[in-house]
Structure 1
Amino acid sequence: MSVRAGVLGATGAVGQRLVQLLDPHPEFEITALTASESSAGQSYREAAKWRIDSPIPADVAEMTVTETTPEAVSDNLDIIFSSLPSGVGRDVEPAFCEAGYVVSSNSSNHRTASDIPLTVPEVNPSHLDLIEVQRDERGWDGALVKNPNCSTITMVPPLAAVEEEFGLDRVTVATLQAVSGAGYDGVSSMEIIDNAIPHIGGEENKMESESRKLLGEFDGAEVQWHDARVEASCNRIPTLDGHLENVWVDTVDETNADDIIEAMETYPSAELHSSPDDLIHVFDDAKRPQPRLDRTREDGMTVTAGGVQETDGGVQFNCLAHNTLRGAAGASVLNGELLAKQGYL
């Protein structure tokens, strides 16, 4: 039997990716789509202004879009995927949870709240048990689970591999982030063409805080954040998709490039439908990974790395992930698969 799924904010860039991923999914069936009040009542085809590089799925194109309220959606839902703007999601997502819905959200609100699981299934699946704490503290029957920021999720799997074998003391990262990370209307062509923007508002703080929560330990009551020092500088560049990052790591234990590569290549994936066979692929070529060449590896769900070299305190490497697949919609779907597997739906 299919898991009945709704999508909040279904007409936006990440919402469209969610529809693209969920429509052919063997475990989920789309049964509700929501958007703003101005789009409610229209068919999804009319409301979405479809911009994904594959045709709009025929079996959802004529579905009627509803308002984004618990009262407007069907009661026949097992899970809701949210791609709402954080300012909207801050109030709307808890309202759905209070109404009994389980929400897997890509929105940035509540990611670092003490009782909200922030989860990458291949890295910290045990954090999902924070749902029991959340339900006790908030008194709702639903649940709210978050995936991290698209830049955070690019570096965390490689960092998790390093942490497991050698420990993390300090992480410094400089990002080269694609324009799709800002949404369709986020960066004007006049601003980004022949240019690079050396600041993305709020992005550094997200990377610095979310990574420490993801790499922390859940003790049954709360997540003890990892104590590594994390510093980020985030830059927007004129690529369409794929966030490339330069990462410097000071490790607790002495290591070398070969050991780091082995740790990354052998770091396990998860037994979920959307998890890639190889969570981290490491290139021998120091000029890889590159966004245009490597962002869609294993349907855009693999994190690629390269340029691994020793430093005085540890290692430096480059890593890349598709920001709207592994870093957004695909991450939410993975969390939905984990919720289903662990019996939370």
Structure 2
Amino acid sequence: MRAAVLGATGMVGRTFVRLLEGHPWFKVKTLVASERSAGKRYGELVPEAPEEFKELEVVSLSDFLREPDVDLVFNALPASVSGEVEEKLAERVPVFTNARAHRYDDDVPILVPEVNPEHLKLVELQREGRGWEGFIVTNPNCSTAILTVSLAPLREFGIRDVRVATMQAISGAGFSGLSALAIHDNVIPLIEGEEWKIENESRKILRRLERSIVPAEFTVSAIATRVPVLHGHTEAVFIELERGSIDELREAFESFDPLRKLDLPSYERPIVYEEVPQPRLHRERGKGLTVTVGRLEESARGFKYVVTGHNLVRGAAGGSVLNAELAKRLGYI
């Protein structure tokens, strides 16, 4: 299938391109970036570009929208421009997006394949209600993606309440998001809008799907911080459950592997248990798609644990590629 990557020169866009190199199902034919980048070879703009794409000429968004001659689109554009762009493209082709513009639409899934694959059925409502040939599938905020993968195997114990404190890598802020002077020797206990996303996206992802999505019945409270780590978000999670023991929870983590039989090209074991998860040691596990859980202990109101994962892969581009693979395997594209 012919694919395009929008925002191909940004941090998430570069990750998309790297992950799609040599992909057996999706062949990148078009790389889209700003007007000032249009007409240049991708290798000129991104020196570390895979050989497969170094000579590919970058096109502008306006030119691409006039004739989007591809079978699917991966979007790494900012949310500020993504809304209308995604809707225009979805009239004709599937859009798998990292942007938040449509995450909260009732008929658009926030998809984490190992957690809520049944939410893909919402694309049928999109096509029916909006008259589209394509559709929009979003992936969540990076911290939410890592958190919900760790929460998924615990649903069988009845989740009542989740509290999480994140320690987020600087790459989550993009190339120009933080100055070296701001983050060096520092922890910044505020990431604008991040806590709302974690609290609300997690509950949408972990909801039941009937004709529409039925709200999850537990609460999520978050505090988000930025720390001087290059890649890899780490989260301290405190969870109250209806039942369960330390041994049962650890077994749930270690046995969680729900999509193995689908044989998706990018699929990796979603969770590995390691007593002391650390981003520098564990963020590349499973090519960046595996989250590492550890420090599982009892706490005053239930249990606590630590989870770490790669924010650009599991939390962004890699999640979107998995979403597209799942959609293809299940016959939506």
The answer as to whether partners of 1:32 and 1:73 remain within 8 angstroms in 2 is no
* Counterpart check, 1:248 vs 2:231: no
CA distance in structure 2 between the aligned counterparts of 1:214 and 1:61, rounded to whole angstroms: 37
Q: Is 1:201 the counterpart of 2:192 in the alignment?
A: yes
User: Is the CA contact 1:216–1:226 (under 8 Å) kept in the aligned structure 2?
Assistant: yes
Match of 1:113? 105
Q: Is the 8 A contact 1:269 1:275 kept in 2?
A: no
Q: Note if 1:140 corresponds to 2:132.
A: yes
Q: Distance in 2 between matches of 1:269 and 1:328?
A: 20
Equivalence for 1:49:
46
Match of 2:116 in 1: 124
Report how far residue 185 of structure 1 moved. 1.1
Q: Deviations over 1:4-40 (max 9, x none)?
A: 1110111110000100010121221111111112212
Aligned counterpart, 1:151: 143
Deviation string 1:101-155 (CA, Å, 9 cap, x unpaired) is 1100011111121010111111111100100111122121111000111100111
Please show how residues 247-266 of structure 1 align to structure 2 within 5 Å. 247-251=237-241, 253-266=242-255
* Structure 1 residue 210 displacement after superposition: 0.5
The 8 Å contact of residues 66 and 72 in structure 1, kept in 2 or not, is answered as: no
Q: Which residue of structure 2 lines up, in the alignment, with residue 310 of structure 1?
A: 298
State which of 97, 103, 113 in structure 1 corresponds to 2:95.
Answer: 103
Question: Conserved in 1, the CA contact under 8 Å of 2:161 and 2:220?
Answer: yes
How far did residue 269 of structure 1 move?
3.7
Aligned to 2:212: 222
Structure 1 residues 1-345: aligned runs within 5 Å: 3-46=1-44, 48-50=45-47, 55-69=48-62, 70-75=64-69, 77-98=70-91, 100-163=92-155, 165-219=156-210, 221-251=211-241, 253-270=242-259, 271=262, 272-276=264-268, 278-283=269-274, 285=275, 288-345=276-333
The answer to whether the 8 Å contact 1:199/1:235 transfers is yes
Alpha-carbon distance between aligned partners in 2 of 1:134 and 1:78, rounded to the nearest angstrom: 18
Deviation at 1:311, TM superposition (A): 2.0
Tell me how far 1:312 sits from its aligned partner.
Answer: 3.3
Q: Which runs of 5+ in 2 are unaligned?
A: none
Distance 1:138 1:227 in 2: 29
Question: What do residues 27-78 of structure 1 show as CA deviations (whole Å, max 9, x unaligned)?
Answer: 21111111112212222123x334xxxx422221111111224534442x11
For structure 1, the residue ranges without an aligned partner over 5 or more in a row are none
Q: What is the alpha-carbon distance in structure 2 between the residues aligned to residue 134 and residue 176 of structure 1?
A: 36
Name the CA distance, whole Å, in 1 between partners of 2:86 and 2:36: 19
**3-state SS of 1:27 partner:** coil
* TM-score where L is the length of structure 2: 0.96
Q: 2:258 & 2:128 partners in 1: Cα distance? A: 31
Identity rate, percent: 44
Q: Secondary structure at the match of 1:151?
A: helix
Larger deviation, residues 310-319 vs 241-250:
310-319
User: If the length of structure 1 is used for normalisation, what is the TM-score?
Assistant: 0.92
AA aligned to 1:102 is: P
- 1:255 partner letter: G
After alignment, is 113-122 or 134-143 more displaced? 134-143
Secondary structure of the residue that 1:340 maps to in structure 2? helix
Does the 8 Å CA contact 1:114/1:222 hold for their aligned counterparts? yes
Q: Structure 1: which amino acid aligns with 2:46?
A: K
Q: In the alignment, is the contact (CA less than 8 A) between 1:151 and 1:207 conserved in 2?
A: yes
Q: Which moved more, 1:262-271 or 1:232-241?
A: 262-271
Q: What is the aligned residue count?
A: 329
